Each structure stands twice: as C-alpha cells, then as structure tokens.
Structure 1
Amino acid sequence: MSPSELCAKPPNTTLCPYTLQEGAADSKKRSNDDASDSQYWRYDVSKRQKNGSDGEKLCFKFVCSGSCPRGESCHFQHNAEAREQCRRGVCLDLIIKGKCEKGPECSYKHEFQDLSVQRKPRSENANRSKECWFCLSSPSVESHLIVSVGESFYCALPKGSLVDDHILIIPIEHLPNTLALSPEGESELSRYQNGLRNCYKSQGNDAVFFELVSKRVSHANLQVVPVPSSRARLLPNIFSLAAEKLGFKLVTKKSASYSSSQKETRVLDDASDTSP
C-alpha cells in the first residue's frame, strides 16, 4: 500500500472518545501548579494551610526570610507586616494559622506587636531563620548534608564529624531544644532514634545521643554517635571523669516535663554554675 492509502481514514471511522476538550490543557496546568504550591508548603511547621484562596494565604518563605524565589509568580501573599511581626519575635504559628497549639510552652510572642513603634536596634537573634544554619528556609543551610526529611525533624551529616557515621537530628521548627515537644514531634523523634539504634546495632555499635541546651543555642541539634557496644556501659564514668578534670561536676536533673523519647537520656548540667 502507498503512504497515502495508509494515512487515509476508513469510510466507517467514528470520532475518538478521548478528543482533547477546550480548556483541558489549562486545567491540567493549573493542577500541576497547585501540586507544586502544596509541595512548596512542605517546610511550613503549621502542617496545614489557612482557608481561603491562594491570594489570601501567607507565603511561609517570605514571612520567614523576607524573600521568595518565586517572586511575582508566587501564588501566596507576600505580606510585609507579617514579615515584620516575625522579625519582632511573634510566633509563626500565630501569624500563619492565627493560633499556637503550644500555649505557654512556646518560647515566642503570642501578641502582635505595634508596628508604629520604632523597632529596637537589631539584636544577634534578628532574622534568625535567615541566618540560622539549621533552618531549612535559610539560604545558609548546607542542603547537600541532608540525608532525610520528615514532618517535624530532619537528619543531616555534621560539617565536622566526631567519628564515622556521626548524625544530627534537627527539628524543622526553630526550637531551642528537644526537651519539650508536641506529641507528633515526640513520636517522630522516637522513630528516628530507633532507626539509628537499629542501624548502629547491625554494625556492633550502640547509639549515644547528646544535646547542648544553652541560651547560646538558638536551634536545637541532637547529636548521635555510634560507640562500640562493648564500651558503651563505660560512658557514664568517662563523662564524669572528664568533667572533674575540667573543674565541674555533672549531675542528673529530674523533671517530669521531659518527653518519653528523652526518658532514657541523662540530662547533664554544670553543678558549679551559679549564674541566673
């Protein structure tokens, strides 16, 4: 058969039931944009967006850092007042959702600030999300070191490992420590810890978790290092001896406020510290 005969339609040909309808392409494109926008909210610690159209929702990236890589193409609102409230220490959940579920346990302000009052000179904690090494929204974050991202926490390799397979468990939210977590955050932290324990156990090691809780630490990072199982039981004595050589004593602090994922962790403090 000739090419023209092969291309000719038979006389009894019917219309294709899958003919592309007008506007279907635009609908599909919009669907893809919506999916992209939903993914863009991946690091919103509120876990859910506010009701309303896209134009009424606040852009989490802009509120945290003051800039958005999408620019004018972003479907969310770049509200300068919301950004300024964030800079003045107002709780992000309060700004984004209108409420904070942590209540008194939240370390940020739960009242909107009077923007007509001149802001005090910039402090060391200004623009914390933008300058913080551990905030995923920060341009300074070392994204190539991230190995796993969950809902409330992510795992990353440290810039300078103490030993091989040294891991950091870091909250996505800008929290000063991991001692007071939401039930969801506590559950996810436990899953990360158990996963690392099993990983180290397969290599003949025990997992050791430690964290520095200090006013100088603005974003928590839980350190995880493997120690040979045969030597793990010696660690408490080794820590105590090392502290004595440095002139202070380590004590175990008892508190009912620690989450269940922290119950088997010895909380160590400098007993000689008398500062307020």
Structure 2
Amino acid sequence: MKQKKRRHFNNARGGRSMSSPITLFIQRVPQERFDALSEQDRYCLLLLGHVHDELSWLQRTAYACAQRGGRGNGLEQQADMMQTTLLLRLLLGKLFEFKRVMESERGTIQPFIIANYRPDDQGAGAERVETIFKSYADEAWLRIARNKHFLHYPTLADVRTTLRDANVQWELEIAHGAKSSNTFYPTSDAFANYAWIRRVNPDEPMKGLDEALYVLTKLAKLTMGTLEESIGHFVDANLMRLSDNEPLTMFAPSIRDLRLSYFISTQGE
C-alpha cells in the first residue's frame, strides 16, 4: 500500500538500557481471612484484580510496540503496525467488557468501587464510576470500532469507503516464509487497520492510530487507578494492613527494550 500522506511513528530514544531493579511489596492473606468475606466481596476482589492485570499488560505492550515504529526494514515496520493495532483492538475489547460487567453487576461491582475507592468519601467513588462511564460516551468511535472491528471481521460494507479512498493506492505485497509462521500479508493488515483507525479520525485517518492510543491509554489508566485504589483500601480495612508486606526485589527490563517480533527463527526446532 502506498499512501500519499505517510504516518511517522515517534522513535524511541536510541540505545539499549540494562534491566533495572524494582521492588514489589507482597501481601499473602491467609485463606481463613479470605474465606470469611462475603461471596460478593470475594468475587469483586478476584474479578477486579483480573481486569486490572489484563488492561495493564495490553496497555503497556501496545505502547511499547508503537514506540518501535520506524525501526527495521519496511516489512518489520508494517508488522509492528499490525501488532500495535491488534493490541489496541484487544485493549478496546477488554475495556468494553469491563464496562459491560459493571453494568450487568450494578449491585456488586459498582457498590464495591463506590464504597472503597475513597472509604471516607463515597461521593468520590460514585463520581469515579460516573467518570468511567462518561469516558465511553465522550468518544463515539469507541462503540462503533468495538462492534465493527473487535468482535467481528469487517464486512464489505464496513470497509467500502477505505477501498474507494483516493488517497490510498493499494499495491498488493506478500512475504512468503519457509515456515507459515513467517508468512506475512502486509497489505491485508494495512487495509484492515486503515479501515479501523479511520473510525477514530475520518478526516485524517493516519492520525487515528495516535489518537486511539492516547484515548485507550487514558481510559485504561483511569480504570486501573480506580481498581488499585478500591482493592487496596478494601484489603487494608478488611484483610491485612497494607504496611504488612514482604519486600521483593527483582530485575525488569525497560519498556524501551520490550520487543514483540512477528518474524521468528525456527532453526533448531
């Protein structure tokens, strides 16, 4: 695909950094304390922790892939774009799934957040829940993109505008690998991704990816912060003081070094 207006990713800062130490603070709640909680509270604690972890991984991995854009040869750059948009669509889907379960479990999850986000100010918790819901309403493209490009592959009607876009020249490119794991159809991914990101910005589609990354990152961080505060305050008040923990130091790579490669070597397999 040749584009008359080509998008340029921001290059990450040059050079590789070594792994750096991080400190985690581990809490181990005895089973009898956890079992003493109501079924509703146990459900909320476990589900919200699960939601947090999936959003956290998807958000930072999508960000890391986006920062790698512009590096490597043309095929590697197109593969990075494919991975970034795939991760953003998964992140969008997970965010909507959390919204859906908040709505369906109105009598469990919402009261848990309202009561524990700011234990001394339940009005702040209610406002936080409202802010999360409002964030979805403020960006109309979220619902459209989720329905058209996350849950389903697009129909011809969904992408007809993209196929007819005079600003894009489709030149079919195919990369055959000796193994199927290295076969890549970059034009196919560019076509599907262009159709998706133009939902974000119909007037300037090539700016859509940056805008989608910004909006979804902002919404993910809003949600993760809400869950961390709510879980932390509940645990501190009902199970174990937050200060009752065991420090654990480990080494972790910089996000600048995170690399998910589409292309892999199968030598020696």
Q: Indicate whether the TM-score tops 0.5.
A: no
The interval holding the TM-score normalised by the smaller chain is: under 0.3
Higher helix share: 2
Larger RCO (CA under 8 A, 6+ residues apart):
2
From the CA coordinates, give the structure whose radius of gyration is larger.
Answer: 1
